[in-house]
Structure 1
Amino acid sequence: MSQTSTSHPPQIKSRIGAILRATSGNFLEQFDFFLFGFYAQAIAKAFFPAQNETAALLNAFGVFWLGALMRPVGAVVLGAYIDRIGRRQGLIVTLAIMAVGTVVIAFCPTYASIGLAAPVIVLIGRLLQGFSAGVELGGVSVYLAEISTPGNRGFYTSFQSSSQQVAIFVASILGFILSELMPADAVAAWGWRIPFFVGCIIIPVIFVLRRTLEETPAFLAMKKHPTASEVFAAALANWRIVILGMMIAILTTTTFYFVTVYTPTFGKTVLKLTNQDALLVTLLVAVTNFIWNPVGGAISDRIGRKPVLLTIAGLSLLTAYPALHWLVAAPTFGKMLAVEMMFSFYFGVYSGTMLGALVEIVPAHVRTTCFSLAFALAAALFGTFTPFASTWLIQTTGDKASPGYWLMFAAALGIFAALAVYRGGRTIETREALAT
């Protein structure tokens, strides 16, 4: 394990500036992810033609999920790179890979133009994005944790998730403007690409921000940085912590993708609300998500991670299905907003707490790799699978509230993992350190 030196490394000059520069890449990633979910119907028609709308939509969400399966690969490969070379350089590399994937999807010709090459190109773009995203969230969370002030780690790391909400807010605004200024047919045919082009335009700005990042004092203080093989071995040795960390993160990822990526589709195709209604709800959810994340992080800094995690997971387990059942019985804009606000509260407070908890339970010398792998597995196997799972559950069961079962399952896993991690008042990492 890496040792820390007794000398004092350079301190971060401006923590607010460092937070903004570190989270800028999160903005780009989530901006594109949300657009893919919101315009899933248009993307399905453009790249994945099928016999019926549901089949095309499942194809589009399937590709969305396949891209996420690259997250664990990126977590291990790029996580090892960041743990060895440094937080700053690693975050610049992940941004470059993510940018390529964004450009590929934005400019890909339709199926009508180039045939089967179109879905293949879109899939490649999603694979690149997933590979990068596998470590982007973990890399940023670790960076924020390592520049945090004493007693405020949860509050600092929560801004990793908050930055994603800004992306959703901006994407929602763009989508709302497009729906107001352009006919629905034009948006479905080609207008949906405009927000993706906007994402391409802001890439150079984010690169400039990332290049000005300072390395974290914690990384500079390490006398020895592990080699890639040492990182892989350490990650394998700590598989139990990684799996439990994944289980803790599942409720964050499933709830997030439900209230952001899937909500527009759910509002339009299941509840039969207007595009404007679905966008407005998503926009307001982004605002409340942004608020609740740091609130959750700050509360967990004061009273501990365990009580917050267990409380929110318990509430989600008890209310997810009943709330959706109440909504689908007689859908209205007001009822959809109320239910989404409830899920936004659950997500924000839980996520703000979970990020700090996950940083703390993984070993410090391979922090980026283990954090990223745990979160990537949660996102790949559960979170980004949520739109597909929700669509499939509704089609298979005929119950429009059935996505609630998926969220309840995630909550149950979170409760089990939190009890296991914090058994006896100490985290797994603390108990193992005492044992050695």
Structure 2
Amino acid sequence: MTARGRIRAAAQVASGNMLEMYDFMVFGYYAAAIGRAFFPSGDAYAELMMSFATFGAGFLMRPLGAVILGAYVDRIGRRKGLILTLALMSIGTLTLALTPAYVQIGLLAPLLVLCGRLLQGFSAGVELGSTSVYLAEIATPKTRGFVVSFQSASQQVAVAAAAAIGVALTTVLSPDHMTAWGWRIPLLIGCLIVPVLFFLRRNLQETETFKHTRTPPRMAEVLRTILVEWRIIGTGILMVLMTTTSFYVITAYTPAFGSRVLHLSTRASLLVTLCVGLANFILLPAFGALSDRIGRRRLLIASTVLALLTAWPVMHWLVAAPSFEHLLAAEIWLAVIYSAYNGAAVVYLTEIVPPRIRTTGFSLAYSLATCIGGFTPTICTWLIHTTGDRAMPGAWLSLAAICGLVAALVSRPYAR
């Protein structure tokens, strides 16, 4: 594949990954409104917790999707797998966008929303793995970090797009209208771009690595290999805990944290999230390229040490004097740490997993980690409510950084 072909393929693959994260971000940004629509209780904390719990429930389906869809993709090919996950994801998004509120259909409303989130989680269990493995296999060894970074960079486009739409909607709609129906608009916008994404992915070429696989692995072989390589999967889980926790702290949780905890305006919190997405979009490819030059492990160790030294103090500084400027500064600093770590971690995970089960192994490690990291908004909300310390997200991020540091110290690339 030519250099131009790699760039075109990277854009085609990343576009679908962008839709997955866009849907996740919209749910996180409007968790309070979604909680009021589908889980009305009269208690704002309970509604928010139920909404965040439903948000997190989707992550519980990821390991199942990773094993079932991952093994299927390792058999049918990367290209067909990317089309399949996009189809499943689209159905889940449409369910969330069109389900009537609790006051209209009662208990059926939260059940349908939960089913939509579970389907999204099932497809997402292998979407990110398929995307990352595809990009890793079309890249050259000297540009692998840079090319794979576009998987995460595409997610930042989703973060920024969802936040920008949110800023625009809060400008033209009243808070009551946003709570009543305005939050559905971003989801419907996501549904409208699905046909374009299907067209882009249909034209993908299969990777040479998969073409040269003479006999694709069967499910039994995949499961046996996962059991044999449990240390690699475990290392991958620790590695991904850091990247998913830091990602959700600075993106999905920021609007709720800014408005509910720091008492800033919703518009200001979404604007900060927009800036974080744009910063990550620039930084991720830069750090991915840096990992190609200096090595993955050096970047992983440096970024986790920075997180351990600064996350807790930065959050205490922020909550001591909340303001738009302080929230922006704190989130951008954490975004630098996240981008440095993620720029090396995602590509490194493709390099430590055996090639025959690369999609399944990557997806399983990532999915099991997101079963914890994906609940970051729920955990942070609970920690603050229980302890009364508004800086607890910094403690949660520090714990994730310890996991990432251990993974970086014990991991080794798989011998090719």
Query: 1:102 maps to what in 2?
Result: 93
Q: Supply the distance in 2 between the matched residues of 1:246 and 1:11 (Cα, whole angstroms).
A: 34
Structure 1 residue 318: deviation in Å? 1.3
1:397 to 387, 391, 409: 387
SS of 2:217 mapped into structure 1:
coil
1:388 to 378, 381, 387: 378
For structure 2, the 5+ residue unaligned runs are: none
Structure 1 residue 172: deviation in Å? 1.2
Q: Which amino acid in the other structure matches residue 319 of structure 1?
A: T
Are residue 165 (structure 1) and residue 172 (structure 2) matched? Answer: no
Q: Supply the distance in 2 between the matched residues of 1:37 and 1:102 (Cα, whole angstroms).
A: 14
Query: 1:309 maps to what in 2?
Result: 300
Structure 1 residue 28: deviation in Å? 0.7
SS of 1:35 mapped into structure 2:
helix
Which contiguous aligned blocks of 4+ residues in structure 1 show a shift greater than 3 angstroms?
Answer: 10-13
Query: 1:292 maps to what in 2?
Result: 283
Q: Supply the distance in 2 between the matched residues of 1:212 and 1:198 (Cα, whole angstroms).
A: 23
Deviations 1:214-236 (A, max 9, x none): 10111112222111221222122
Q: Supply the distance in 2 between the matched residues of 1:317 and 1:364 (Cα, whole angstroms).
A: 33
SS of 2:253 mapped into structure 1:
helix
Structure 1 residue 129: deviation in Å? 0.3
1:347 to 338, 354, 359: 338
1:415 to 380, 383, 405: 405
Root mean square deviation, CA, Å:
1.2
1:20-169 aligned at under 5 Å gives the runs: 20-169=11-160
1:192-341 aligned at under 5 Å gives the runs: 192-341=183-332
TM-score, with length taken from structure 2: 0.98
Q: Supply the distance in 1 between the matched residues of 2:60 and 2:208 (Cα, whole angstroms).
A: 33
> Aligned pairs, how many?
416
Structure 1 residue 13: deviation in Å? 6.7
Query: 2:349 maps to what in 1?
Result: 358
Q: Supply the distance in 1 between the matched residues of 2:359 and 2:310 (Cα, whole angstroms).
A: 34
Deviations 1:147-197 (A, max 9, x none): 002311111111100000011111111111111111111111111101111
Q: Supply the distance in 1 between the matched residues of 2:255 and 2:67 (Cα, whole angstroms).
A: 32
CA 370–27 in structure 1, closer or farther in 2 if over 3 Å, else same: same
Q: Percent identity?
A: 52
Q: Supply the distance in 2 between the matched residues of 1:250 and 1:325 (Cα, whole angstroms).
A: 22
For structure 1, the 5+ residue unaligned runs are: 1-9
Structure 1 residue 239: deviation in Å? 1.3
Q: Which amino acid in the other structure matches residue 64 of structure 2?
A: V
TM-score, with length taken from structure 1: 0.94
Alignment check: 8 A CA contact 1:291 1:348 kept? no
